[in-house]
Structure 1
Amino acid sequence: MHIHNLSEENSILNTFIAEIRDVNIQKDSMRFRRNIERVGEILGYEMSKSLPFNSKNVETPLGNCDIDLPESDIVLCSILRAGVPLHNGLLNYFDAAENAFISAYRHHKENPDTFEIIVEYLACPSLEGKTLILADPMLATGQSMLATFEALKPFGTPKSVHLISIVGAQEGVDYVSKNFAEDTHLWIATIDPKLNDKGYIVPGIGDAGDLAYGQKVQH
């Protein structure tokens, strides 16, 4: 797997990551969502550099010019519900992309510290021969990302696969590296060192879905 860790170089991205982590700024859910969206825009911009480009002639009011434009057919898939603001950020840049949505959540059994990933709702166009962008803000264990990818397989074989996350744990990065094809790309804003005993990223940011949209009722 090709891992692109944007935190390895300093940029304005650091500001958005700091605000996403800050427990005081997190209290403003609208700002939290907007920061997730802005990080998605930056990750999408960096990812766009890896796409194939072709020259196109564009007519201006005063003449013509040749511009290299990306040629990929993109399907953007996000994992509900935390993935929505990240999806919006990516869609701001890939506005011609087709869209897919999937629900994947942790189902805790008798032991609250263990869980399995349950996939329920899924809406997806054909993926055959296209560029798949699979977006989930938090890459903790990596199991949600893999379960989502497996659920998408009946929709066709993509030409290329790009995983996009904001905060990941090293364990999750290692997991997707092991379980996805070697030519898969992971674009991630920052990588934290570990998971706690409940499988949450430390220091992380907390529950991205709750911070963006309010606490959910557990069933």
Structure 2
Amino acid sequence: MHIHNLSESPSILNQFISEIRDVRIQKDRMRFRRNIERIGEILAYELSKSLSFAENKTKTPLGMAKTPLVEDEVVICSILRAGLPLHRGLLNYFDQADNTFISAYRHHHKSDPKKFEVIVEYLASPSLEGKTLIIADPMLASGKSMVMVNEALQGMGTPKEIHLVSVVGALTGVEYAASNFSEDTHLWIAAIDPTLNDYGYIVPGLGDAGDLSFGNKVQH
């Protein structure tokens, strides 16, 4: 898998990453969502450089302008619910993309909260045959959600290529994804942290992206 870790080159992206990690700033949900969205826009821009382009002619008031435009048919797959702000950032740049939505959540065992399984339920998707698939999930912790979502999408056709997009990941999750996706898959990520805690959360990470975006949920 090709790993593109944007934090390796300092940029304005660092400001947004710092703010979503900051426990003081996290109290402002709107700002948290907007920063995730802005990170998604930066990741979309970097990802776009790897796509296929074809020359396009545009008529201006004074003549014809030649511009290379993306020719790939892009489908953005968002993992609900935490992926929605990231999805919006990607869609701001790939505004003609088709969209896939899928639910994947952790079910923690009541007898042992440290143990959990990832459950995939809802799926709405167009055909992925020959398309450029972008799977967006802000937190790449264990990597299981990304892998299970990809497996759930198998019946929707074979994509031309697959790109994974995350905001923060753990080294463990990155390695797990790399071992379960094809070698030509691309991962675009804003930061990679060293480890997971006993509950499967990224350290230092930022907490639960879904809760910080939309509020706490009731655990069943």
Work out whether the TM-score is over 0.5: yes
Alignment correspondent of 1:154:
155
Give the Cα separation in 2 of the matches to 1:42 and 1:104: 25
- The alpha carbon displacement at 1:120 in A equals 0.5
Write the mapping of 1:1-20 to structure 2, written as runs, cut at 5 A. Answer: 1-20=1-20
SS in 2 for 1:171: helix
- The alpha carbon displacement at 1:88 in A equals 0.2
Give the Cα separation in 2 of the matches to 1:31 and 1:145: 26
Alignment correspondent of 2:38:
38
What per-residue deviation string (whole Å, max 9, x for no partner) do you get for residues 129-174 of structure 1? 0000000000000000000000000000000000000000000000
- The alpha carbon displacement at 1:104 in A equals 0.2
Alignment correspondent of 1:115:
116
SS in 2 for 1:102: strand
Alignment correspondent of 2:75:
75
What per-residue deviation string (whole Å, max 9, x for no partner) do you get for residues 62-108 of structure 1? 11011000100000001000100000000000000000000001112
The letter of the residue matching 2:43 is L
Q: Over aligned residues, Cα RMSD in angstroms? A: 0.5
Give the Cα separation in 2 of the matches to 1:141 and 1:59: 49
Alignment correspondent of 1:57:
57
What per-residue deviation string (whole Å, max 9, x for no partner) do you get for residues 156-202 of structure 1? 00000000000000000000001100000000000000000110000
Give the Cα separation in 1 of the matches to 2:112 and 2:33: 32
SS in 2 for 1:218: coil
- The alpha carbon displacement at 1:111 in A equals 2.0
Give the Cα separation in 2 of the matches to 1:65 and 1:132: 30
The letter of the residue matching 1:85 is P
Give the TM-score normalised by the residue count of structure 2: 0.99
The letter of the residue matching 2:13 is L
SS in 2 for 1:37: helix
Write the mapping of 1:1-219 to structure 2, written as runs, cut at 5 A. Answer: 1-109=1-109, 110-219=111-220
Give the Cα separation in 2 of the matches to 1:150 and 1:143: 11
The letter of the residue matching 2:25 is I
The letter of the residue matching 1:139 is L
Give the Cα separation in 2 of the matches to 1:57 and 1:81: 40
User: Structure 1, unaligned stretches of length 5 or more?
Assistant: none
Give the TM-score normalised by the residue count of structure 1: 0.99
Give the Cα separation in 1 of the matches to 2:25 and 2:33: 11
User: Structure 2, unaligned stretches of length 5 or more?
Assistant: none
SS in 2 for 1:112: strand
Give the Cα separation in 2 of the matches to 1:130 and 1:111: 41
Compare 131-140 and 104-113 and name the one that shifted more: 104-113
SS in 1 for 2:183: coil
How many percent identity over aligned positions?
70
SS in 2 for 1:174: helix
Give the Cα separation in 2 of the matches to 1:181 and 1:68: 28
Give the Cα separation in 1 of the matches to 2:70 and 2:158: 20
